[in-house]
Every structure is written in C-alpha cells, then in structure tokens.
Structure 1
C-alpha cells in the first residue's frame, strides 16, 4: 500500500491561516482553505512530493448530529452523498459494545 497524505490538526482557523501564510512565505504552494463541513483544511506538497494537510478541530463532528448520537450512523458531507452506496459497501462492519 501507499500513503495518500499526512495530516496535522490545529485548534482554530486563525492558527491554520497563520500556518498557511508561514508556509507560503517559504515558497510552497498552499491551497486556499477548503471547507470539509466537519473541519477546514489546507494542503501543500513538500519538495519531495509528499502531500500534507493541516486541518482545524472546529467546527467538529457534531455539526450534523447530537453528541449523544455521535457515531451511531454514517454521516457524509453533501459532496459525498451521491457516493453513499459505494462508500457503505466498502466499509467493514463495526460492532460496538455499548455496555
């Protein structure tokens, strides 16, 4: 197998924007901020070609469900909904012991 990309998390949009500016100042091409519904991301490649992502903690995975039901059903951002059937077919089943 291969690694697609390496991701780091930051605590806020402001921190992410500071990293974007800092990386851009080194001459790296950094993408605009991408809204991924559950977090915001920027991407860049290091000189060897490895893709890196910096993603924010907010807004978080509870934007479309309550904390009490978090993780009880597969939630997808709107742009992945058309692929739901394919995604669900490839995911392994997970049994959780809720005791």
Structure 2
C-alpha cells in the first residue's frame, strides 16, 4: 500500500494496546491501518430521515488523517481503502429485516 514504516508501527502499537482488532475474524496485517482508521470513523455515518445510511463524509476522513498525522502520500490510497470497507458496511447497515 505504500505506507511508511513509522505509520505501520504506530498502527501496530495502537492495535496491540487498544485492542482495536478482535478475534472474531482474521485481518491481514497490511490492512490493519485501514481498519483502525475505519473504526475511528464508525460514528460518523450520515443517517437519512428514513433511517438509511449514506456513508461517512469526506471531511470526517480528512479530519482524521490530520489528527492521526497521516503522511500526505499515503492518504489517497487509505481513502480508497476506507471507502471499500465503508461500501461493505453500508451494504450490511442498509439491509432490510435481515435480508
């Protein structure tokens, strides 16, 4: 993914100390930074008037990148990766009656 080693090490340390990953599923190590960022964004989903989820605003993602001091050269790829996770989450969140 082109992430610098310092960012990877910070993500690994956070995952170990904050237990941001769970044992209910397996995640490849190279996806841990994306997953950790997505978890931090999980309360930012926009919910419509009828209860449907629309996604996470780009401003929330940009703000998190700034807070986390994500290197500029890594942000584009991380944004793409977070949006892939978000797409999957939206499919599940917007299922009607468990279908």
The normalised TM-score by structure 2 is 0.25
**Higher relative helix content:** 2
The normalised TM-score by structure 1 is 0.25
Larger Rg: 1
Larger RCO (CA under 8 A, 6+ residues apart): 2
